[in-house]
Structure 1
Amino acid sequence: MATIDAYLGLDLGTQGLKALAITDDGRVLWRTRVAYPTQYLHEGWEEQSPGDWQDAVNQVLAHAASLPYKWRALGISGQMHTTVMCNGEGQALRNAILWSDRRSDQVVNDVKKKFGVDYLRSLVGNVPLTNFSLMHLLWVRQYESERYREIRHVAIAKDWIRWWLTGEWNIDPTDASGTYLLDVENRTWSTDLARDLEVDLSWWGSLRNSHEWGGVLIRGPEKLRGLPVVVGAGDQAASAVGTGLSTGELGLSLGSSGVLFWLINPFSIPKNNSVHVFCHALNGMWHWMTVTQSAATAYKWMQEQFYPNSTYQDVDADVARVALGAEGVIFWPYLSGERSPILEPKAWSGFVGLTASHGRQVLARAVMEGVTFSLKHCWDAMNSEETIVPQQIVLTGGGSKSSIWNQIVADVLNMPIMIITDDGAAAGAAWLARCAFENEWTQYPRHVVSEVVPQARNVRQYREIYDQYRDIVSHLEPLWAYL
């Protein structure tokens, strides 16, 4: 029996490590997932231990080595912005600061006040936010100065794991876009901003394309030693690759955060400054992106409170008893502040319309609807001039396992949806490795689970409820700084 050639993809996500193996034609051979914890040390602080990532990767590589495949190459993706600061030996000097961490709010305000948003956008294309790695770094410089003086390397999550596996320091343009130090249009470092903020660009390693080689495995099982490792891409760009997203399709990820992703060429800076513009994993392509901080995270919170040890299908069965509109209960999902289109790390979450007659199934539906209203708010910002006309939504992420939620998304956004297997970034990482190994680029053959179309009656009803949601949020905004 012939040995099957396989490519390994790793996605170092917020809630855990996903891994899969694919064949040369994109068929999935094997999947696994290893969870690791997030540490919430203070209000707004979110960290993870790089040692937990190492343990998860070791577990996956040991499993992969036991499989009867001929491994050809490895690709890595991971949570964007999450920042690891290291000494000269590559050892992490502290826990990684997550993309969702909000402690650098005052640092962001100071940077905006000193340089002005227009000047900053002219250099890197985006407005500074607490999510960006540079703001994590500046916070450490201000509040952990002794530790800052020890820094010799800084890496995004996937790049630190790749260094640990290969001994090579690299970063690709997709993750470099999320540092807030990249001239996104020209796909090169902004030396002007680095000079203005006195940041050493050499700490980030070599800037290399996502499909280029980033080293070979020098750790892990003997069977895998010497395996070539592609540089890889941040999770959203890798997910677009792994879902076969094409120009004219709107990507939507119901992952820990909720992300809308729109491919562009030529480069352009969106007029709404809550919309990001980042490099895509493919040369000559960029993407606009809006992010609501808590999507599947909000669902997970609801599940832990009201449906412990339940599946998406269990929750769906209960929620099916509740009519559209959640009996007048409206939820806004700002459990970790908000990023788009409300640039407010101090924003908080809540319900309105709640009474003693409402059970858990009402709250569950309200959470699904509230996250989707936030995504609609993001879409309105991205398409503020109504010039984008998507053919369809390509939906992935853990939240897409809920058939009720999928219908809500179709109805609120009033677009047809194609639901793709939840392999996203891991599949994209593996496919980048495959394309590098074969020295050719081809579109990933997406694996469609189902398709959903909006229901006209639901669309009309949700339009009214969404207007109520927007009105509630607008009245809440003045309160976030005080409560």
Structure 2
Amino acid sequence: MSYVIGVDLGTSAVKTVLVDRSGNVVAEHSESYPLSQPKPGYSEQRPEDWVDKTLLSLRLLLEESKISASDVEGLSFSGQMHGLVLVDGKGAVLRPAILWNDTRTTAQCRRIEDTLQEKLLGIARNRALEGFTLPKILWVQENEPELLKQAALFLLPKDYVRYRLTGEYAMDYSDAAGTLLLDVAAKSWSTDILDAFELPHSICPPLVESFDLCGTLLPEIARESGLLPETKVFAGGADNACGAIGAGILAEGQTMCSIGTSGVVLSYEERREVDFEGKVHFFNHSEKDAYYIMGVTLAAGYSLTWFKDTFAPDVSFDELLSGIGDIPAGSGGLLFTPYIVGERTPHPDADIRGSFIGMDAGHKLPHFARSVLEGITFSLRESIDILRASGKRIDRVISIGGGAKNEDWLQMQADVFNAEIVKLESEQGPAMGAAMLAAYGAGWFPSLQACAEEFLREARTYKPNPDTAQQYEKLFGLYQTVYGATRELGKGLAEFRG
């Protein structure tokens, strides 16, 4: 028997999965690492923590599975996007990594927009947001100029870990697309953007496909991980691209909805020149010469977690949601907007805040719980509608993450999206996508689609109820008016937030 390993380098932990040739997850293991927030808005990590915990997770994965290291053909990565790692000419890290959820770079985003103007969307295909990598590089340029002069390369989180495992530098297109330095259509680093900010071209690592071989394990790394030095290491991809692969989003017309802390609507895209005017993200896929478009709800699952922790801390999520099936669509006239940490799509607004509208004395905890789920789903529907307006037909959506764990919520997604919702039999998200890249790279399958056909199986589908879908259509129209109606109120309340 032979196996591959998927390594998912997340924000709070690294997860490793061991997968056989049929797509069965034989073993999995995770190791957490700390997050540093030295100042308000700052979010940093030590890259060496990623390396140490990845090696520990790999070693324990092998020990727990009791398989022979000689049976592992290769491994690949999924990685948290956008995080800035700067290394010197010897590969030494120059400062803690600045992560995707670090918000110190608003001024640098405005500098990018003012400098590049319409060129930005034409080249990078995305707006300048605090999460992206280029604003972080410019922050270092402005605040730590001597340090930037020492930098030989910038890397993203998984690319640094892979470098430490193999000694080889590389960055795949799907992750590079989230830097604002890639010419997305041309699949090359943009000389126009680099020159506009006086950045040396040499700071950008070599570009590769997600399934390309990037070397084998260094001898000392092999000893620490329990694997063999000849184990093949493949490039891997951005977490959202790998999540798409792990959900089988590998052909035109395929769309997924992933509800975790944030929420993502992601659809496969072959049209290179389609213009979304920056309303959604447009990135290179880990599938060769393909793209994906993505809308983001910043506080999707986080809204539900906040609600439970604040109003029902002593009950489980299952208990909290157990009564929502008895509440009619519309939650008895109660409407929630999930803007509790700002919003991304379709309103890139860091200042807007959430609301409950329509509360009356008859509303009980189940009404509020259902309203929170409806508000999250309406926010995701806004991304669905942007994709449909571009000409995409979306009548079937793969649902993964927390939103796929509750049957009432799955049916709600079907009714709000007015589309068939599919739940997968076994869902490992980005870790499975990384394992599939290793399986394809190792030659197990002629294509990623063939790999998905073997590895992924559907468990159940949920079809929209026509009457409920019609009710939600009316309520969604009301939901869409809330942002405009509360934006100025939110600004007025901002001074009281502390």
Name the TM-score, length of structure 1 as normaliser: 0.91
Q: Is this contact kept in 2: 1:270–1:277, CA < 8 A?
A: no
Q: Is this contact kept in 1: 2:56–2:225, CA < 8 A?
A: no
- 1:96 CA displacement: 2.7
Equivalence for 1:230: 234
Q: 2:461 aligns with which of 424, 445, 451?
A: 451
- For 1:341-380, what aligned pairs fall within 5 Å after superposition? 341-354=346-359, 358-380=363-385
| Distance in 2 of aligned mates of 1:479 and 1:95 | 38
| Distance in 2 of aligned mates of 1:35 and 1:63 | 14
Q: Deviations over 1:158-190 (max 9, x none)?
A: 112212222222100000100011111111111
Q: Which moved more, 1:362-371 or 1:318-327?
A: 318-327
Q: Deviations over 1:113-163 (max 9, x none)?
A: 2221x2212222222222211112112222333443443332212112212
Q: 1:406 aligns with which of 402, 406, 410?
A: 410
Q: Is this contact kept in 2: 1:341–1:377, CA < 8 A?
A: yes
Equivalence for 2:123: 123
Say if 1:446 and 1:178 are closer, same or farther in 2 by CA, change over 3 A: same
Length, aligned pairs only: 478
The yes-or-no answer on 1:23 pairing with 2:20 is: yes
| Residue identity opposite 1:110 in structure 2 | R
- For 1:35-184, what aligned pairs fall within 5 Å after superposition? 35-66=32-63, 67-69=65-67, 70-116=71-117, 118-184=118-184
Q: Deviations over 1:79-126 (max 9, x none)?
A: 22122233444444443333233221221112212221x221222222
Say if 1:351 and 1:49 are closer, same or farther in 2 by CA, change over 3 A: farther
Q: Which moved more, 1:265-274 or 1:417-426?
A: 265-274
- 1:431 CA displacement: 0.9
| Distance in 2 of aligned mates of 1:9 and 1:208 | 18
The yes-or-no answer on 1:334 pairing with 2:331 is: no
Q: Is this contact kept in 1: 2:216–2:230, CA < 8 A?
A: yes
Q: Deviations over 1:412-431 (max 9, x none)?
A: 11100111233121111111
Q: Is this contact kept in 1: 2:108–2:135, CA < 8 A?
A: yes
- For 1:193-204, what aligned pairs fall within 5 Å after superposition? 193-204=193-204
The yes-or-no answer on 1:315 pairing with 2:316 is: no
| Residue identity opposite 1:217 in structure 2 | L
3-state SS of the aligned residue for 2:54?
helix
Unmatched 5+ residue regions in structure 2? none
| Distance in 2 of aligned mates of 1:138 and 1:297 | 30
The yes-or-no answer on 1:460 pairing with 2:458 is: no
Equivalence for 2:263: 258
Q: Is this contact kept in 2: 1:410–1:417, CA < 8 A?
A: yes
Q: Is this contact kept in 2: 1:14–1:256, CA < 8 A?
A: no
Say if 1:401 and 1:17 are closer, same or farther in 2 by CA, change over 3 A: farther
The yes-or-no answer on 1:324 pairing with 2:329 is: yes
3-state SS of the aligned residue for 1:244?
coil
Q: Deviations over 1:8-60 (max 9, x none)?
A: 00111234323211112322212333344544455443334434433431331
Q: Is this contact kept in 2: 1:170–1:204, CA < 8 A?
A: no
Unmatched 5+ residue regions in structure 1? none
| Residue identity opposite 1:75 in structure 2 | S
3-state SS of the aligned residue for 1:340?
coil
Q: Which moved more, 1:265-274 or 1:298-307?
A: 298-307
| Distance in 2 of aligned mates of 1:271 and 1:424 | 26
| Distance in 1 of aligned mates of 2:84 and 2:24 | 33
| Distance in 2 of aligned mates of 1:322 and 1:15 | 35
| Residue identity opposite 2:79 in structure 1 | G
| Distance in 2 of aligned mates of 1:376 and 1:337 | 17
| Residue identity opposite 2:213 in structure 1 | W
Say if 1:226 and 1:264 are closer, same or farther in 2 by CA, change over 3 A: same
Name the TM-score, length of structure 2 as normaliser: 0.88
| Residue identity opposite 1:459 in structure 2 | A
| Distance in 2 of aligned mates of 1:287 and 1:90 | 32
Say if 1:361 and 1:42 are closer, same or farther in 2 by CA, change over 3 A: farther
Say if 1:443 and 1:59 are closer, same or farther in 2 by CA, change over 3 A: same
Q: Deviations over 1:274-301 (max 9, x none)?
A: 1222111121211222222222233333
| Distance in 2 of aligned mates of 1:90 and 1:349 | 44
Q: Which moved more, 1:410-419 or 1:464-473?
A: 464-473
| Distance in 2 of aligned mates of 1:284 and 1:97 | 29
Q: 1:430 aligns with which of 411, 426, 435?
A: 435
Q: Which moved more, 1:184-193 or 1:323-332?
A: 323-332
Equivalence for 1:470: 480
Q: Give the alignment's Cα RMSD to 1 decimal.
A: 2.4
Equivalence for 1:417: 421
| Residue identity opposite 2:66 in structure 1 | P
3-state SS of the aligned residue for 1:327?
coil
Equivalence for 2:284: 279
**Percent identity over paired residues:** 30
| Distance in 1 of aligned mates of 2:303 and 2:434 | 26
| Distance in 2 of aligned mates of 1:14 and 1:368 | 24
